């Protein structure tokens, strides 16, 4: 094709849809508690980026910062969030509200809480369309029914008229995803979208994220604690611990060549990886527990639980260093340090 040459000059996914750059967030609770420290995450077009970590690691707070939905006692103390080239910090409240829903939207863990219980499922979606589109009333209904089909709701006409309490958990989550997709956003942020669901329903919902990535080209920032969910759908992964990014890489790198001992520990905790282990043998564990805000001391925040930790780890906090192609890890003594140097081709 004659256009091919020009196309090649614009590498696919060069401009990320979302770029979180060195974002820091503090909580005010008598004293300043640092909840996010220089967090950077990018999401390319039609890419699913998983943000994984345990309670208190800052993964949900990162998602809320992007949406501009931080709790009142939290403030951004540094860094910026750029959505399709627009620095969200430069916008006023009205401009920001306009972006929210139209260019990015969010799916929460508990659809029963996020949906309006007094509003029929159809209206929850048509309302989004009346704010973010110029469609007529009948067109809004048509579009809503199409969205319901898109997210795999059986019998969309019936669902349209039902209230959230008349729907099952899986159907509610589908309605919420339909709402989030209504204005065709470039970025969908999903915070533990399958945690409250049954296993068979979880795999149905995960399939929707793959479908919208492939069919609509939607980018997804998927926040989860579950490495299994990451293994199922993520293209790239950011691992967070104690308000920091500790590792970031394509999904196969994370699973096959983890560089950070914390990532390796999370992987070792996946039950399926231990299915063949003898019953008398202990499962691998990460000793200790996740530090609370304000318990984080100098040095690497993971050092107190890390069996590889040395003096340097307790004194000096490691920044993100290259650990392979498109692979970063914040560790002074990463795993597989001595493997062959990565190929010269660089990806960003």
Partner 1 sequence: MTSAPPPELSPSPPAGARPEVLVECTEVVKTYQTAASLLGRRSMRAVDGVSFTVTAGSVMGLVGETGSGKSTTGRLVLGLERPTSGRVVFAGQDLASMSGGDLRRLRRQMQPVAQDPYSALNGRMRVSEILAEPFIVHRTVPKAQIRRQTEELVDLVGLPADSLDRYPHEFSGGQRQRIVIARAIALQPRLIVCDEPLSALDVSVQSQIINLLRRLQAEFSLTYLFISHDLGIVRLLCDTVAVMYLGQLMELASRDALFDAPAHPYTRALLASVPVSDPLERRSRARRPLGGEAERDPTTSQGCPFQARCPLAEEECRQRRPEWRQVEPGHFVACHLAGPGHPAA
- Give the footprint of partner 1 on this chain (CB under 8 A): 54-55, 154, 168-171, 198-204, 206-207, 225-232, 234, 251-252, 255-256, 265-266, 268-275, 277, 279-280, 282-287, 289-290
- Pick the closer one to partner 1 by CB: 70 or 326: 326
Q: Which of 209, 189, 194 is nearest to 65 (CA)?
A: 189
Q: How far is the CB of 289 from partner 1 (least distance, A)?
A: 5
Structure tokens at 289: 């527990």
- Pick the closer one to partner 1 by CB: 292 or 321: 292
Spacing of C-alpha 100 from chain mean position: 16
Which of 233-263 are b and which e, b meaning 16 or more Cβ less than 10 Å from the residue's Cβ? bbbbbbbbbbbbbbbbbbbebbbebbbbbbb
- Pick the closer one to partner 1 by CB: 139 or 154: 154
Q: How far is the CB of 168 from partner 1 (least distance, A)?
A: 5
- Pick the closer one to partner 1 by CB: 14 or 252: 252
Spacing of C-alpha 127 from chain mean position: 26
Q: How far is the CB of 265 from partner 1 (least distance, A)?
A: 6
Angle between helices 121-132 and 169-181 (to 10 degrees): 10
- Pick the closer one to partner 1 by CB: 65 or 194: 194
Q: How far is the CB of 149 from partner 1 (least distance, A)?
A: 14
Q: How far is the CB of 283 from partner 1 (least distance, A)?
A: 4
How far is residue 151's CA from residue 156's CA, in Å, rounded to a whole number?
A: 10
Residue 283: exposed, middle, or buried by beta-carbon count in 10 A (0-12, 13-18, 19+)? exposed
Strand partners, 105: 188
The angle subtended at Cα 126 by Cα 108 and Cα 45, nearest 5°, is 55
Q: How far is the CB of 208 from partner 1 (least distance, A)?
A: 10
Q: How far is the CB of 96 from partner 1 (least distance, A)?
A: 33
How far is residue 111's CA from residue 288's CA, in Å, rounded to a whole number?
A: 33
Q: Which helix (H) or strand (E) holds 37?
A: strand 31-43
> Contact, 113 vs 107, CB < 8 A?
no
Q: How far is the CB of 22 from partner 1 (least distance, A)?
A: 27
How far is residue 203's CA from residue 69's CA, in Å, rounded to a whole number?
A: 28
- Pick the closer one to partner 1 by CB: 85 or 199: 199
- Pick the closer one to partner 1 by CB: 133 or 274: 274
What are φ and ψ of residue 104, in 5° steps? Answer: -145, 150
- Pick the closer one to partner 1 by CB: 44 or 56: 56
């Amino acid at each position: 094709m004659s256009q091919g040459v020009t196309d090649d000059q614009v590498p696919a996914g060069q401009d990320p849809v979302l770029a979180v750059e060195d974002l820091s967030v503090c909580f005010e609770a008598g004293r300043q508690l640092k909840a996010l420290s220089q967090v950077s995450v990018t999401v390319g077009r039609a890419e699913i980026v998983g943000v994984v970590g345990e309670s208190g690691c800052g993964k949900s707070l990162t998602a809320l910062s992007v949406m501009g939905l931080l709790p009142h006692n939290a403030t951004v103390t540094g860094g910026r969030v750029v959505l399709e080239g627009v620095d969200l910090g430069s916008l006023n409240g009205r401009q920001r509200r306009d972006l929210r829903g139209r260019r990015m939207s969010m799916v929460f863990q508990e659809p029963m809480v996020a949906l309006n219980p007094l509003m029929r499922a159809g209206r929850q979606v048509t309302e989004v369309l009346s704010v973010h589109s110029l469609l007529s009333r009948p067109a809004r209904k048509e579009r809503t029914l199409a969205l319901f089909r898109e997210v795999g709701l059986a019998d969309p006409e019936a669902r349209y008229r039902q209230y959230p309490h008349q729907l099952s958990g899986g159907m509610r989550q589908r309605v919420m995803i339909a709402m989030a997709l209504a204005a065709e956003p470039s970025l969908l942020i999903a915070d533990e979208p399958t945690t409250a669901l049954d296993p068979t329903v979880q795999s149905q919902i995960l399939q929707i994220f793959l479908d919208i990535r492939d069919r609509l080209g939607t980018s997804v920032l998927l926040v989860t604690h579950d490495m299994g969910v990451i293994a199922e759908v993520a293209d790239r992964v950011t691992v967070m611990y104690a308000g920091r990014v500790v590792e970031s890489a394509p999904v196969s790198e994370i699973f096959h060549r983890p560089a950070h001992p914390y990532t390796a520990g999370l992987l070792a905790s996946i039950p399926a990886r231990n299915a063949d282990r003898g019953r008398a043998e202990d499962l691998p564990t990460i000793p200790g527990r996740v530090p609370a805000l304000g318990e984080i001391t100098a040095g690497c925040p993971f050092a107190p639980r890390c069996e590889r930790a040395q003096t340097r780890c307790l004194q000096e906090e490691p920044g993100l260093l290259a650990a392979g192609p498109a692979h970063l890890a914040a560790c002074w003594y990463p795993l597989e340090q001595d493997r062959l140097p990565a190929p010269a081709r660089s990806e960003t």
